[in-house]
Structure 1
Amino acid sequence: MKNKTLIIYRVVTVLFSLMIFMGATMYLVDHENVVGKFETLGFPPNLIYFMAVAKYSGLVAIWQRKSSTLTEWAYAGFTINLLLAIFAHVNISDGEAPGAIVALVLMAVSYVFYKKNQAKK
């Protein structure tokens, strides 16, 4: 049973990580387009680089095996980020909220299985 929870954790966490990684990379690669989206959402464009670094750092924190406190904080940060993203996209009705919802669900499943695996150690 331990292997099953570990496999589910890793698969879901990889999918979540890919979504976050691709989004953060888009912040850097397609910066001008992202600036326009941030302005449409009502966010200052100077947050873009900070958000990219925060997302990459959060992924490192989730995958590292040294500090469970750091992992917990990363999950908390992603929860706040994704909830704000959902509400911002719903607020302007741009149709992009489903992506953030999928990421939030993947993150929640990842967290649940992270905790299950932690309890079995």
Structure 2
Amino acid sequence: MKTSKIIYWISTIVIFLFDAAMPALTSHLPLAVESIRHLGYPDYFRVQLTIFKVIGGLLLILPKVPARLKEWAYVGFAINYISASVAHANVDGFGFFVVIPFIILGILIVSYLLYHKLNDKQLTIA
């Protein structure tokens, strides 16, 4: 159980740093602005995405957040990674930036599965 908890926190912190802290600090930089423009998205999408990523990261990392909100954060991040991969594949073809979101998605899945293992939550549709 202790190993599971350590792996859960490492994977969750990686997601938080990669998708909440880093965008909050770098989304205004010219490279980030150009990256969003290159993919064909309007500039307001960059701001909106950053806000949602920060909120989602906080929901994952903070204790005492209701399980349903954590579930929505996990789903939001999963959709984000899949959409990022599809966007990069459509604009630039298959390459490094298509694979990276799936690697991060794998880390997210580890965090998600261990979250449920550690909290004895049964996955139900209700």
User: Under TM normalisation by the shorter chain, which class is it?
Assistant: 0.7 to 0.9
Aligned residues: 117
8 Å CA contact 1:5–1:117 kept in 2: the answer is yes
Runs of 4+ aligned residues of structure 1 deviating over 3 Å after TM superposition are none
TM-score norm. by structure 1 comes to 0.86
Under a length normalisation based on structure 2, what TM-score does the superposition of the two structures give? 0.83
Alpha-carbon separation, structure 1, partners of 2:11 and 2:111: 6
**SS of residue paired to 1:66:** coil
Match of 2:39 in 1: 41
1:2-81 matches, within 5 Å, as 2-20=1-19, 21-28=21-28, 30=29, 32-64=30-62, 65-81=64-80
Q: Any idea what the Cα deviations from partners look like across 1:52-105, whole Å, max 9, x if unmatched? A: 111110011112223111100100110111110011111122632232222111
Structure-1 residue corresponding to 2:99: 98
Higher helix share: 1
**Alignment RMSD (CA, Å):** 1.7
Q: Which runs of 5+ in 2 are unaligned?
A: 122-126
Equivalent position amino acid for 2:51 in 1: V
Read off the aligned partner of 1:19 and give its amino acid letter: F
In structure 1, the gaps of 5 or more residues are none
Identity percentage of aligned residues: 28
